[in-house]
Amino acid sequence: MLVGIPLPIVLMRAIQRRYTGVARALAADDGAADTPLLPGAIYQTVVVPSASLNLVALQTLAYARSIVPTVFAVHVTDDPDAIARRLASCATSSWSSSRRRTAPSRSRSWRTSTTSTAPTRTTR
C-alpha cells in the first residue's frame, strides 16, 4: 500500500515532464527550423534503385517523375559479371561522352548539359 500509491504518481509525473519537454521542442519558437517552411524553398531528388529495366521499374520511374522533376535511376546488383557488362556497355555507348540529358530545376523540359562528369540515363 505504501509503495502502490506513490509509484503511479511518480510515473505519471515523469510522463508529464517528458510530454512537456517534447511539446517545448516541437513549438514553433523563433522560426529557425532546419527544414524550410515555404514549399518553394524545398527541393527533392528521388533515387530509384532497380535490378533490371522492366515494367515495374518503368512504372516506378514514371511515378517518381510525377512527384519531382529530378529522378535518378540506379542499377543495383551483386553479380560481378553483370557489373562488368554494365560498365562495358557504358564505356562503349554514346552516353559516355561529356554530354548528357539532365532535368533543369523545377521544370519538366529537358536540356543538354556539358558540365557533367558521369554518364547517367534518366527516363522521362
Domain ranges, ordered by start, for the chain:
47-85+100-109
Three-point CA angle 45, 48, 52, nearest 5°: 155
Q: For residue 114, what pLDDT is reported?
A: 38
Q: For residue 4, what pLDDT is reported?
A: 81
* Higher-confidence position of 121 and 20: 20
Strand partners, 101: 112
Q: Please, which pLDDT band fits residue 30 given cuts at 50, 70 and 90?
A: low
Average pLDDT, the chain: 75
Taking residues 34-54, report their average pLDDT: 84
Which residues are CB-contacts of 30 (< 8 A; sequence separation ≥ 6)? none
